Amino acid sequence: MDTADVLKNISDTVWQESEDGDYKGQDDLLYCGKCHTRKEARYMFMNKVMKVHVLCACESEKRRIEEEERKIREAKEQIARMKATCIQDRGLIECTFANDDGSLPQIASAKRYVETWQERKANNDGLLLWGDVGTGKTFYAACIANALIEQGASVLMTNFSKILNKLTGLYSDDRNEFIASMMQYTLLIIDDFGIERNTEYALEQVYNIIDERYKSKLPLIVTTNLSISTLKNPEDTAHKRIYDRVLAMCVPVKFVGANHRAKDAEAKIKSCKGIFEGGSAV
């Protein structure tokens, strides 16, 4: 044992007291009554033999398990913090594959997207989840967001209403910085695309963000109530240049027919929103 080990053992064993059943061995050192390994060792210090406390085998094992549990706890806390930052609608944090009841037929493809994430990322493969309200598009997208964040991927799930609100209060330089900050996320998920304000300013900002994403060659997932034919036949050029980019980056996945699971998910999202927005849970 070197000095560092001895000092570590001394500090480690501050909390380990002699317990009932501990006994002195023939070598006059203290032994643990449970695991029968030493709780003391001899150490030469300044030409004197000293006895120092050391961890017995069962105490070492107990501390190893505590340390492992601490690491797991910290990793979970880190993921929870990431989700709180990266999934802006907190109700969606509950939308996970684990909470899926299996009645959404498209969910298998969401799992495949996550399983093949490295390839999706490299190929800049986005998704366009389109269909009526309540068909599970948001649930599907949030499952992907949650699963990828759990794997350590950097994901931002937001919507254009939130982005435009934020941009409105910013000066030009800060606006550019804010848009650039969204490109730091490997995956950007825009929920409810197409319901944002239709002003010239709004359309310009939406285009800027989609175009930045396109130029950055980073994947984009969009959920929208707009039909694929609306996206392919836009009403004017301002919409056309936005939709053209989205269609170039995202593979369309169709969602049809509201089902129980989707309704349940919508209800769950609403109830979670109530909890979070009421401030009674964080």
Shortest Å distance, C-beta 59 to Zn ion: 5
Cα dihedral 11, 12, 14, 19 in deg (nearest 10): -150
Cα gap 126→182, rounded to integer Å: 16
| Site for Zn ion contains 56 (CB under 5 A) | yes
> Binder to Zn ion among 29, 35, 41, 164 (CB under 5 A)?
35
**Which region, judged by CB under 5 A, interacts with Zn ion, from 45-53, 55-63, 74-82, 245-253?**
55-63
Structure-token match 């930052």, residue found: 85
Q: Kindly state whether residue 34 participates in binding Zn ion, applying the rule CB under 5 A.
A: yes
The answer to the question of residue 71 lying near Zn ion (CB under 5 A) is: no
Query: Concatenated DSSP letters for 139-182?
Result: HHHHHHHHHHHHTT--EEEEEHHHHHHHHHTS-HHHHHHHHHHH
Position 30 contacts Zn ion (CB under 5 A)? no
Interface with Zn ion (CB under 5 A), residue total 5
Say if residue 277 is exposed, middle or buried (CB neighbours under 10 Å; 0-12, 13-18, 19+).
exposed
Shortest CB 64 distance to Zn ion, Å: 13
Residue 32 Cβ vs Zn ion, minimum distance, rounded to whole Å: 3
Residue 137 Cβ, how far from Zn ion at the closest point, in Å?
57
Upper half-sphere CA count for residue 75 (Cβ side, 13 Å): 10
Q: Which residue is nearest to Zn ion, using beta carbons? A: 32
Instruction: Look up residue 66 and give its amino acid.
Output: E
Interaction between residue 247 and Zn ion (CB under 5 A): no
Strand 220-224 vs strand 187-193: parallel, antiparallel, or unpaired?
parallel
Q: How far is the CB of 98 from Zn ion (least distance, A)?
A: 39
The answer to whether residue 55 forms part of the interface with Zn ion (CB under 5 A) is no
| Contact call for residue 51 and Zn ion (CB under 5 A) | no
Q: How far is CA 92 from the centre of its chain?
A: 11
Smaller CB distance to Zn ion: residue 52 or 258?
Answer: 52
62 binds Zn ion (CB under 5 A): no
Distance CA 253, CA 141 (A): 11
Looking at 32-40, 46-54, 101-109, 200-208, which segment touches Zn ion (CB under 5 A)? Answer: 32-40
What the block records as the tokens of 63 is 């501390």
Which residue among 6, 16, 30, 32 contacts Zn ion (CB under 5 A)? 32
Asked if 58 interacts with Zn ion (CB under 5 A), we say yes
**49/164 Cα distance (integer angstroms):** 73
**Binding interface with Zn ion (CB under 5 A):** 32, 34-35, 56, 58
